Amino acid sequence: MKYTLITLAALAGVTHAQNLITNGSFENPAGPYTNLPSGSGSVPGWNVSGSSVSVFGVVDFQPSGAFVSSGIAPASSTTDGVKALDLATNNADVTIAQTVGTSAGTSYNLTFDLGSTSALGRNGIGNYELLLNGNVVANYHIEVPDTTVIRYFSRSYAFTGTGSDTIAFRSVGSTYTASLKQDFAFIDNVSLTPVPEPSSAALLGLGGLALILRRRK
Ligand SMILES: [Ca+2]
């Protein structure tokens, strides 16, 4: 029974693989709202280009926080941890990119949460592009009429690894007409994990079974 439990734990490890993205929840840097310049050092793990970005957190909407007057419910400000990132700071198009080591031929699932709000007189529109190795592979448009919360939408994108893959999110539409112009384009909870293949899990299970049988001898 003991070794059977170990085998089950090993299988569970496959279905809950570690997130390959560094600082995908934008918890770093810690602290209250901060405007961060473009470059590779301001948001750990990410390269920022196009303009500056800002990180904000639950604390900014609490009493004595920088944005408490916005009326935004603090708990709605992130979907993971206590901080999130605004890709539309200064109403400029911004790109954040990160290169991740992958296994060629392996399937991966990228998941992330995109958010906005109509608080502070904004239009609640966020426009994004997802780029994979420099190519735009998906577009996302969100509209949030709510004025007292930040509302997030979970999105995902599946792709096959090439050995080293660069994932980038770009806010777009800063030059659109007023009615389509993005105001807030938030992002949080970026995660990249390999998709477990039934054959791999089965092989691992057989390996575990072999281990059990060997240890029982
Ligand atoms: Ca976060």
- Region 88-101: what's the mean pLDDT? 89
CATH of domain 18-195: 2.60.120.260
pLDDT of res. 123:
87
- Cα(190)–Cα(154) distance, rounded to whole angstroms? 10
Phi, psi of 146 (to 5 degrees): -65, 140
What spacing in Å lies between the alpha carbon of 214 and ligand 1's midpoint? Answer: 44
Question: Given phi > 0 = left and psi -120 to 50 = alpha, else beta, which region is 124?
Answer: left
Q: Which residues have CB atoms below 5 A from the ion given as ligand 1?
A: 25, 78, 80-81, 83, 188
- Domains in the chain: boundaries: 1-17+197-217, 18-195
What spacing in Å lies between the alpha carbon of 27 and ligand 1's midpoint? Answer: 5
Q: What angle do CA 115, 119, 125 make, to 5 degrees?
A: 45
pLDDT of res. 210:
61
What spacing in Å lies between the alpha carbon of 115 and ligand 1's midpoint? Answer: 12
pLDDT at residue 159 tops 80: yes
**Least confidently predicted of 7-16, 138-147, 152-161, 170-179:** 7-16
**Least confidently predicted of 92-96, 111-115, 142-146:** 92-96
What spacing in Å lies between the alpha carbon of 86 and ligand 1's midpoint? Answer: 11
**The token pair that represents 1 in the structure block:** 């029974």
Helix (H) or strand (E) holding 171: strand 164-171
The DSSP secondary structure of 35-91, one letter per residue, reads EE-SBSSSSTT-EEESS-EEEEEGGGGSTTSTTGGG---GGGS-SSTTEEEETTGGG
State the chain's mean pLDDT as an integer. Answer: 87
CA distance to 43, 119, 196, 198, 206, per residue, from 203 (Å): 39, 52, 11, 8, 5
pLDDT of res. 206:
61
pLDDT interval class at 13 (50, 70, 90): very low
pLDDT interval class at 188 (50, 70, 90): very high
What spacing in Å lies between the alpha carbon of 171 and ligand 1's midpoint? Answer: 18
pLDDT at residue 199 tops 70: no
pLDDT at residue 144 tops 50: yes
Look up the pTM and report it.
Answer: 0.83
Do residues 50 and 94 make contact, with C-beta atoms less than 8 angstroms apart?
yes
pLDDT of res. 99:
98
**What are the pLDDT digits (tens) for 64-90?**
999 999 999 999 999 999 999 999 877
pLDDT of res. 70:
95
What spacing in Å lies between the alpha carbon of 189 and ligand 1's midpoint? Answer: 6
What spacing in Å lies between the alpha carbon of 191 and ligand 1's midpoint? Answer: 11
pLDDT of res. 192:
98
